[in-house]
């Protein structure tokens, strides 16, 4: 397994305004990478970028757009080169399938599955070596009742990510599927539909972020839910 030196690498963080994404960005930055944050809210992105450092760049985009892959062109424009794309964007919905609305279902598919694949496609068309990361989640391994659509799109992205690890070997692009268990980011309190069930205490998001970045450095292809055990 090849290891990656993150110093001087240009890394795009999708969901860089979110709780896991901003911690991942901080960890890459701490290890010497040049970081670009992307997410929907430009106000949040600007705030996170300012907190990280003066040279951190950002751009707002929406994974539900017809062509979210344009964020890759923007990354090349702002960073000059691209060595890594880390996808920590996502949304969740709770409740039985019979109550799930079409709009929520479409958004779950676009934000958690097809949008990230479109961005990754745009990235690998331009990247020369480097790495890709998708933060999928434990539900990709163990689907949960009351979260059928969320489990399904996460499992789909996880499968695509593991297939890409093989497909992109010849392009020297390392690909990591990270499947953390429930983590205390507050995501469960921000569903696009439904109400979260009672959940056990989650992991510390700082610990999750460090573990994901360590796995990138180590050239790992998978971080299973069990790999996040304290
Ligand atoms: N927290 C957990 O327990 C847990 C466990 C396993 C896996 N995960 C996964 O980890 C990832 C990060 O979750 P988190 O807990 O850090 O949640 P979070 O704090 O809510 O962050 C979500 C991020 O996704 C972005 N986003 C949402 N909709 C978007 C869209 N349409 N286009 C572009 N960006 C969009 C948000 O940006 P805006 O706010 O600007 O929209 C935000 O930056 C998600 O994929 C989640 O499924 C989380």
Kindly report, residue by residue over 60-106, the tens digit of the pLDDT: 999 999 999 999 999 999 999 999 999 999 999 999 999 999 999 99
The alpha carbon of 91 and the centre of ligand 1 are apart by a number of angstroms equal to: 5
What is the percent of the chain with per-residue pLDDT over 70, rounded to a whole number? 100
The alpha carbon of 89 and the centre of ligand 1 are apart by a number of angstroms equal to: 4
What is the percent of the chain with per-residue pLDDT over 90, rounded to a whole number? 98
List residues near ligand 1 (CB under 6 A): 15, 17-21, 39-41, 44, 62-64, 88-91, 111, 135, 137, 180, 182-183, 185, 187, 190, 202
For the residues 171-198, what does the mean pLDDT come to?
98
15, 66, 186, best to mutate for ligand 1 pocket (most atoms within 8 Å of CB): 15
94, 185, 209, best to mutate for ligand 1 pocket (most atoms within 8 Å of CB): 185
pLDDT band at 158 (very low <50, low <70, confident <90, very high): very high
Between 1 and 116, the higher pLDDT residue: 116
For the residues 188-193, what does the mean pLDDT come to?
98
- For the CA of 20, the nearest atom of ligand 1: 16
Q: What is the pLDDT of residue 2?
A: 77
The alpha carbon of 24 and the centre of ligand 1 are apart by a number of angstroms equal to: 12
pLDDT band at 230 (very low <50, low <70, confident <90, very high): confident
pLDDT band at 1 (very low <50, low <70, confident <90, very high): low
- Domains, the chain: 10-225 (3.40.50.720)
Kindly report, residue by residue over 9-44, the tens digit of the pLDDT: 999 999 999 999 999 999 999 999 999 999 999 999
Please list the residues that pair with 207 across neighbouring strands: none
The residue nearest atom 45 of ligand 1, judged by CA position, is 90
Give, for 35, the enclosing helix (H) or strand (E).
Answer: strand 34-39
Distances (CA, A) of 164 to 22, 133, 144: 25, 11, 25
């Amino acid at each position: 397994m090849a290891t990656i030196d993150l110093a001087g690498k240009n890394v795009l963080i999708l969901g860089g305004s979110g709780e896991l994404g901003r911690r991942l960005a901080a960890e890459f930055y701490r290890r010497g990478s040049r970081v670009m944050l992307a997410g929907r809210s430009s106000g949040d992105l600007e705030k996170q970028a300012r907190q990280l450092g003066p040279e951190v760049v950002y751009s707002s985009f929406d994974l539900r757009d017809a062509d979210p892959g344009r964020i890759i062109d923007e990354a090349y424009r702002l960073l000059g080169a691209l060595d890594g794309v880390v996808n920590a964007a996502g949304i969740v919905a709770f409740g039985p399938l019979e109550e799930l609305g079409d709009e929520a279902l479409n958004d779950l598919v676009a934000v958690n599955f097809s949008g990230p694949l479109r961005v990754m496609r745009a990235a690998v068309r331009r990247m020369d070596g480097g790495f890709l990361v998708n933060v999928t989640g434990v539900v990709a391994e163990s689907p949960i009742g009351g979260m059928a659509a969320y489990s399904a799109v996460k499992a789909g992205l996880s499968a695509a990510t593991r297939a890409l690890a093989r497909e992109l070997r010849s392009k020297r692009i390392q690909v990591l599927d990270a499947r953390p268990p429930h983590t205390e980011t507050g995501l469960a309190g921000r569903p696009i539909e439904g109400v979260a069930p009672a959940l056990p205490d989650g992991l510390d998001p700082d610990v999750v972020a460090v573990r994901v970045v360590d796995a990138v450095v180590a050239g790992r292809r998978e971080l299973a839910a069990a790999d996040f055990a304290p």
